[in-house]
């Protein structure tokens, strides 16, 4: 039996136990980073390159055959490097890599290459150890290889297990996957396209879809088209409060250079962001700088801007960008600016959990049947269930988030507040109140 026929026979059973890791559209569980950990854009004109250039969200050059999706990844190999590569960090940890190293299952990848016999190598590594000496195999748990067999057409390659270079690295130690193209060759500047990577479960694939746009883990819907400043994908430095997740985004300003302040980031929604059932966007932000964060939504013809001030207390807090007056229902692009108008370098912000939300505005001094606010206290005439109370200032910054189990609750913050009250019975009301 020839090898091709053998692969055709085993593929149906191999698919069982695989999950779709990356298709550059609705399933995106890899974060593409440089050796230094900097973000790699999908804009070839703006993206930094590790050695060659890796771009995610590239237009599919050949929407025929097995891959007719509009987007894919692309990689332009650096011809002067023997070991040219790019680095990915998964959204979660591997749960069943042993099934792939023992041959029970296989990594598969759709590729488009200009020539046959283009080789691909997947290296699963511990990032901290591997970075000590990138030229060695220290920190490398396992490697897998595949070779293209068709030129100028999409086809699926199947990766075979190669070796265990560093026996001191366990499956639990793996936190990055390195991809090498035509490994150990010079003078090869091939450009390849790839899509639909199948492999082991990352541990977060079963998370229910909800209003989350970007959480740097299981929900990855943003396509960054331009950045001015450094964007990185990092471990959450403070897993507490409103953000207990493991990963988050990080931004650092680079200095003067943009009329709006140099901290500008443009990302696109593909498909367009449906805003018909929502009127706000919330985002967790952590910074030592008490600066405004500006978020502008664009629908192709119009722009809608909301601005919220960060607390500056170096803890996670939820910012709410209110678009209650927006008439458009779908948005194709957003512009996020940290510290607008500030031209200095060195402003840093952690951010996470960008999500759609719905806020309700009511006129001042309106009370529900069971709720009364007097001076510094909220009173509940009926307490059949606990109340979830969120208090915002007028900029949209969340300044208090508590659960009330009693008939009264003291409002500690002073000033004009938006008090959101909800319970398990479906009551959800926002009251504007001047707390003296």
Q: What structural domains does the chain harbor?
A: 3-199 (2.60.120.430), 212-357 (2.60.120.430), 371-435 (2.60.40)
pLDDT on residue 139: 96
| 229-252 pLDDT per residue, tens | 677 778 899 988 888 888 888 888
Q: Examine the pLDDT at 4 and tell me if it is beyond 50.
A: no
pLDDT on residue 408: 80
pTM (2 decimals)?
Answer: 0.61
Share above pLDDT 70 across residues of the chain, in percent, rounded to a whole number: 78
| 178-191 pLDDT per residue, tens | 999 998 888 777 88
Q: Examine the pLDDT at 173 and tell me if it is beyond 80.
A: yes
How confident is the model over 258-270, as a mean pLDDT?
A: 60
What's the sign of the alpha-carbon dihedral 272, 277, 280, 284?
A: negative
Going by the DSSP 8-state scheme, the letter that residue 7 receives in this structure is H
Q: Which residue has the higher pLDDT, 279 or 152?
A: 152
Q: Examine the pLDDT at 261 and tell me if it is beyond 70.
A: no
Q: 184 near 101, Cβ under 8 Å?
A: no
Q: Rounded to an integer, what is the distance from CA 353 to the centroid of its chain? A: 9
pLDDT band at residue 256, thresholds of 50, 70 and 90? low
| 59-97 pLDDT per residue, tens | 899 999 999 998 898 888 878 888 888 888 887 667 678
pLDDT on residue 365: 37
Structure token pair of residue 169? 């690295």
Buried-exposed string 132-152: b where 16+ CB fall within 10 A, e elsewhere: eeeeeebbbbbbbbbbbeeee
The mean predicted confidence, pLDDT, of the chain is 79
Q: Examine the pLDDT at 259 and tell me if it is beyond 70.
A: no
Distance CA 235, CA 336 (A): 21
Buried-exposed string 211-238: b where 16+ CB fall within 10 A, e elsewhere: ebbbbbbbbbbbbbbbbbbbbbbeebee
Q: Examine the pLDDT at 47 and tell me if it is beyond 50.
A: no
């Amino acid at each position: 039996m020839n090898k091709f026929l053998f692969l055709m026979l085993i593929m149906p059973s191999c698919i069982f136990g695989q999950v779709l890791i990356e298709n550059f559209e609705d399933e995106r569980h890899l974060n593409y980073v440089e050796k230094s950990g900097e973000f790699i854009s999908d804009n070839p004109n703006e993206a930094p390159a590790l050695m060659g250039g890796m771009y995610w969200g590239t237009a599919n050059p050949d929407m025929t055959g097995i891959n007719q999706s509009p987007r894919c990844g692309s990689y332009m190999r650096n011809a002067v490097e023997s070991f040219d590569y790019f680095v990915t960090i998964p959204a979660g940890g591997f749960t069943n890599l042993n099934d792939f190293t023992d041959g029970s299952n296989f990594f598969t990848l759709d590729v488009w290459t200009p020539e046959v016999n283009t080789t691909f190598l997947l290296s699963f590594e511990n990032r901290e150890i591997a970075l000590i000496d990138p030229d060695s195999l220290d920190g490398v748990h396992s490697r897998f290889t595949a070779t293209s067999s068709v030129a100028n057409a999409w086809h699926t390659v199947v990766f075979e297990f190669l070796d265990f270079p560093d026996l001191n690295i366990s499956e639990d130690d793996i936190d990055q996957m390195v991809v090498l193209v035509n490994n150990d060759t010079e003078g090869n500047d091939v450009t390849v396209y790839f899509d639909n990577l199948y492999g082991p479960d990352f541990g977060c694939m079963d998370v229910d879809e909800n209003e989350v746009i970007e959480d740097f883990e299981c929900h990855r819907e943003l396509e960054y088209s331009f950045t001015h400043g450094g964007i990185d994908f990092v471990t959450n430095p403070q897993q507490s409060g409103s953000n207990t997740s493991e990963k988050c985004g990080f931004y650092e300003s680079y200095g003067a250079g943009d009329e709006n302040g140099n901290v500008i980031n443009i990302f696109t929604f593909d498909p367009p962001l449906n805003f018909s059932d929502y009127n706000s966007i919330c985002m967790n932000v952590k910074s030592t700088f008490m600066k405004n964060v500006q978020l502008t939504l664009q629908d192709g013809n119009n722009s809608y801007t909301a601005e919220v001030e960060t607390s500056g207390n170096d803890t996670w807090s939820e910012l709410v960008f209110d678009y209650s007056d927006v008439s458009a229902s779908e948005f194709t692009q957003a512009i996020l600016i940290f510290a607008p108008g500030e031209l200095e370098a060195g402003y840093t912000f952690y951010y996470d959990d960008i999500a759609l939300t719905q806020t309700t505005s009511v006129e001042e001094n309106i009370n529900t049947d069971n709720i009364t606010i007097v001076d510094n206290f909220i009173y509940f005439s009926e307490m059949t269930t606990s109340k979830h109370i969120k208090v915002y200032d007028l900029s949209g910054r969340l300044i208090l988030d508590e659960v009330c189990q009693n008939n009264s609750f003291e409002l500690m913050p002073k000033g004009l507040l938006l008090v959101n009250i909800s319970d398990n019975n479906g009551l959800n009301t926002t009251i504007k109140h001047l707390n003296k």
